[in-house]
């Protein structure tokens, strides 16, 4: 039908950043070019064998082929609670404070539909992971940007938050942060929880990169702050922790009312996680801690390789404290992040992500992912040395 058009809510959205980057990458590869992809952060190592074996066994069980319970297997929720207690020293009620998800991204997309009414104001950090903005807009929320500056560790200024927080319904935060790789301090979380209570707003905390950190500096959960469960919901993922990006499994946890709102939305949208994947998720959560320690060693080695290599060619960058991204001020001679990313691809066959794609506050930066082998990182540095 020629009269069919996209809904207005879709027309208002810009093209999704990572889809556009993937198109450019595929076009370059189709031309026979040797592209080094430092764009999308998709772990390049395989899922650990014991998780795959658990999945194989679960698939062979016909009992796992029925509709899954929306709330997930009780065993999965219990295992999440154990993992959370061990990692953060915080207790969660598996029945009311944990809800398994088909990846944390979908949960973050669905929560606003359960708590945001048209016209409600939502504070969103700038820059921010691009998926947050449309989830708020689809719910009819009005976004108020909260800048994050390098000289403040890419943490929102709480005085600025206080000024903007009147009649605000929710604030979205993400630490360890994508794209800046910043880590939240205890003081920041304490101040934000205090403000949320005073101003009566919800905190949505995305902690997908909780286990990707360096130099032994473990990121905090917001629930390590007294009273945070009164105002917050936090999202976690197995994607980065156990090399399971394509499996789509994660969870939301925290305030029971917020968890219940998310559950009610999801019960009308999907039928839960394929049960065999839930079984594999249980196996992942029971993994030997050495698996995640080895992951951190791997990424830190790559981080140091890239940072030192770029320093050697005159591009000095602050090493990230967490996540597997390097958030780099544009090199000398470049003043536009889109143009910089285009030059990297056109002149060096390197895919990187322009900072402006994460919001106006990202202009002046470019993001590079550490999800390629070390020899490819060294090759990328060599190519960049010829154009910088």
Mean pLDDT of 146-160: 97
Mean pLDDT of 180-197: 98
pTM of the entire structure? 0.96
pLDDT at 2: 65
Domain covering 49-285, topology: 3.40.640
Query: How do beta strands 202-206 and 232-237 pair?
Result: parallel
Domain ranges of the chain: 8-46+290-384, 49-285
pLDDT at 152: 96
Task: Give the max Cα distance, the chain.
Answer: 61
Q: What is the pLDDT of residues 255-268, one digit of tens each?
A: 999 999 999 999 99
Q: Is the pLDDT of residue 100 over 90?
A: yes
pLDDT tier at 15, thresholds 50, 70, 90? confident
Degrees to nearest 5, angle at CA 339 with 338 and 342: 90
Report the phi/psi class of residue 157: left, alpha or beta, with left for phi > 0 and alpha for psi in -120 to 50: beta
Cβ(56)–Cβ(261) below 8 Å? no
pLDDT at 40: 84
Mean pLDDT of 127-138: 96
Q: How far is CA 114 from the centre of its chain?
A: 21
Mean pLDDT of 27-44: 92
Could you give the C-alpha distances from 374 to 21, 89, 377, in angstroms and in order?
22, 35, 5
Among residues of the chain, what percentage have pLDDT more than 90?
A: 91
d(CA 195, CA 34): 50
Mean pLDDT of 267-291: 97
pLDDT at 13: 81
- At 242, list the tokens: 């156990």
pLDDT at 230: 98
DSSP string, 100-138: EESSHHHHHHHHHHHH--TT-EEEEEES--TTHHHHHHH
- The burial of 215, by beta-carbon neighbours within 10 Å (0-12 exposed, 13-18 middle, 19 or more buried), is given as exposed
Closest CA to 156 of 165, 28, 339: 165
Report the run of H or E that residue 197 belongs to, with start and end. Answer: helix 186-199
Please state the φ and ψ torsions of residue 299, each to the nearest 5 degrees.
-70, -35
Architecture of domain 8-46+290-384: Alpha-Beta Complex (3.90)
- At 237, list the tokens: 């993922």
304-315 as b/e, with b when 16 or more CB fall inside 10 Å?
ebbbebbeeeeb
* Strand residue runs (E) in 246-313: 250-254
């Amino acid at each position: 039908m020629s009269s069919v058009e996209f809904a207005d809510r879709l027309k208002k959205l810009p093209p999704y950043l990572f889809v556009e980057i993937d198109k450019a990458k595929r076009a370059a590869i189709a031309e026979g070019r040797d592209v080094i992809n430092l764009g999308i952060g998709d772990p390049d190592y395989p899922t650990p064998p014991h998780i795959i074996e658990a999945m194989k066994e679960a698939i062979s069980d016909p009992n796992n082929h029925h509709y899954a319970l929306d709330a997930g297997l009780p065993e999965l929720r219990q295992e999440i609670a154990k993992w959370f207690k061990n990692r953060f020293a915080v207790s969660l009620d598996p029945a009311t404070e944990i809800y398994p998800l088909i990846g944390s991204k979908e949960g973050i997309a669905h929560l606003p539909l359960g708590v945001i009414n048209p016209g409600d104001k939502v504070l969103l950090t700038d820059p921010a992971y691009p998926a947050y903005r449309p989830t708020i807009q689809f719910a009819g929320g009005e976004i108020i940007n909260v800048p994050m500056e390098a000289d403040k560790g890419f943490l929102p200024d709480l005085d600025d938050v206080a000024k903007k927080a009147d009649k605000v319904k929710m604030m979205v935060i993400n630490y360890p942060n994508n794209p800046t790789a910043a880590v939240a301090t205890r003081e920041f979380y304490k101040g934000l929880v205090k403000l949320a209570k005073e101003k009566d707003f919800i905190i949505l905390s995305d902690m997908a990169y909780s286990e990707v950190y360096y130099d032994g500096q473990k990121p905090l959960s917001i629930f390590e702050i007294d009273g945070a469960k009164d105002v917050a919901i936090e999202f976690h993922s197995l994607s980065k922790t156990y090399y399971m990006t394509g499996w789509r499994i994660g969870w939301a946890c925290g305030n029971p009312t917020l968890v219940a709102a998310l559950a009610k939305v999801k019960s009308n949208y999907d039928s839960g996680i394929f049960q065999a994947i839930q079984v594999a998720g249980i196996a992942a959560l029971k993994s030997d801690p050495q698996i995640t320690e080895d992951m951190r060693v791997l990424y830190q080695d790559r981080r140091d390789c890239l940072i030192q290599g770029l320093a050697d060619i005159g591009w000095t960058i602050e090493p990230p404290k967490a996540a597997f991204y390097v958030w780099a001020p544009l090199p000398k001679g470049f003043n536009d992040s889109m143009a910089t990313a285009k030059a990297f691809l056109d002149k060096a066959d390197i895919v990187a992500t322009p900072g402006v794609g994460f919001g106006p506050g990202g202009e002046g930066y470019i993001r590079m992912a550490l999800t390629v082998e070390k020899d490819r990182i060294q090759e990328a540095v060599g190519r960049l040395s010829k154009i910088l």
